[in-house]
Amino acid sequence: MTVAEMRRTYLSKATEALQPSVTEEVDNEVKRMRQNGIDDIVSLGVGEPGFDTPDHIKQATIRALMRGETSYQPTKGAFALREAISAKLDAENDVKADPEDIIVTAGGKFAIYLAFQATLEKGDKVLLLDPAWVSYESAAQMAGADVIRVPSVPQNGFKPDLENIKGAIEPGVKIIVVNSPCNPTGAVFPRDTIRQLAELAGDNQALLLSDEVYEYQLYEGQHYSAASDFDNVITVNAFSKSYAMTGWRLGYATGPKDVLEGMLKIYQHSTSCVTAFAQYGALDALTNEASKKVVEMMQDTYRVRRDLMTDLIKKSEFLKLGCVPEGAFYCFVAYNVNLPSFDLAKRLLQKAHVATVPGVAFGKCGEDHLRLSYAASEEDIREAFRRMEHYFRKIK
Ligand SMILES: Cc1ncc(COP(=O)(O)O)c(C=O)c1O
């Protein structure tokens, strides 16, 4: 018997315990099916804008590449980009962050990973709303921490229930995560609620991690950045959804100095920096006036698609929308088919060639729900609903 055969696995226990990201698995499965020649899949599964990156951003990146922006950048990010992020945070979010207190990361996801790695250890806890974006729990787990989940319910528009959250606070809670606009529910949290969560975190010597990656996908209400009023806040944002740049892997974070210093050390020893020329595309996204029009166009388009999807849900015998999404680009729908969400999503993909994400991927409270993305064309949304309704009727 070889050494390899004698070992059950080479993986650490911690890695073995990690669950794969369901959203990425759905996307990979769609790509695999397409690769195998199944070319009629309609995807409401993806969490990315249904747009290409605007041309002016691509052109700026090509120019940067051709003038030789190809070497290591400061780990925190190119200075000009951090200056532009600092100006954006000041002008749009009323957040005062010196360029030295900003870290440009490989997507918002890596900023969250770094923040958790830098601050959490065994015995610490992260408080999440349930349902919550798929990667918070795994990021906490990778840092050795546990997660406490507090349900947010459709009757309450999936908004945080402050009394329940206060009741769930226990020794060891080090981070409360706020994600507004929220993936997967589309809820936009009231300013007062976010303020109270930041205060609650402060009263418990904890941090608020404010994940604002859907800031520009906002259809009702106003965006509020807790870091404008509180200093125990790590703000995470990204270019991914804002400028249709998911594949570029560009995000950023700002927060308390010691947290940033910790994040930076981990970053220096793991990734060094984000791709140099891509950072100049991000700089153009922030500084070129043409971006404003594109952001507006995308927001208007998503609003139309949201209205279309909510209308189709209202007409469905099988789907029920707990609350109309106010932001992001997802409808989080309950269904009355007698199957766990994982099985239903799998069957919809295999039998109806419609990709969705099972609600349970976002936590126990997400069971009996599907997340449907309306970052798809109107034609695709209509076709997906035709197929889903047909399939539901067949299996009922
Ligand atoms: C709530 C939320 N936070 C963070 C991210 C990560 O964004 P990025 O693609 O910039 O890493 C996502 C991506 O889907 C998300 O939905």
* Whether residues 281 and 306 fall in one domain: no
| pLDDT at position 14 over 80 | yes
CA distances from 300 to 49, 220, 294, 374 (A): 13, 12, 10, 12
Specify the CATH number for the domain of residue 306: 3.90.1150.10
The answer, yes or no, to whether any atom of ligand 1 lies below 6 A from the CB of 246, is: yes
Question: Over the stretch 21-67, which tens digit does the pLDDT of each residue have?
Answer: 888 888 888 889 999 999 999 999 988 888 999 999 999 999 999 99
The answer, yes or no, to whether any atom of ligand 1 lies below 6 A from the CB of 326, is: no
pTM over 0.85: yes
Question: Over the stretch 269-313, which tens digit does the pLDDT of each residue have?
Answer: 999 999 999 999 999 999 999 999 999 999 999 999 999 999 999
pLDDT at 24: 81
Q: Residue 55 carries which DSSP code?
A: H
| pLDDT at position 7 over 80 | no
CA distances from 163 to 82, 132, 159, 190, 286 (A): 38, 18, 12, 15, 39
Distance separating alpha carbons of residues 342 and 237, to the nearest angstrom: 29
The answer, yes or no, to whether any atom of ligand 1 lies below 6 A from the CB of 238, is: yes
Question: Over the stretch 74-130, which tens digit does the pLDDT of each residue have?
Answer: 999 999 999 999 999 999 999 999 999 999 999 999 999 999 999 999 999 999 999
* Whether residues 278 and 300 fall in one domain: no
Question: Over the stretch 244-265, which tens digit does the pLDDT of each residue have?
Answer: 999 999 999 999 999 999 999 9
Question: Over the stretch 105-117, which tens digit does the pLDDT of each residue have?
Answer: 999 999 999 999 9
Residue 63: inside a domain, yes or no?
no
CA 213 to centroid of ligand 1, rounded, Å: 6
How large is the average pLDDT for residues 319-325?
93
* Whether residues 126 and 36 fall in one domain: no
Nearest to 179 by CA among 227, 211, 214, 225: 211
pLDDT at 4: 65
Neighbours of 244 (CB within 10 A): 22
* Whether residues 131 and 239 fall in one domain: yes
**CA-proximal residue: ligand 1, atom 13 (nearest):** 47
Query: What domain range includes position 48?
Result: 3-52+292-395
Report residue 395 as tokens: 């299996």
Give me the number of domains the chain comprises. 2
CA 186 to centroid of ligand 1, rounded, Å: 14
| pLDDT at position 8 over 90 | no
Distance separating alpha carbons of residues 316 and 298, to the nearest angstrom: 27
Distance spanning both ends of the chain, measured CA to CA: 52
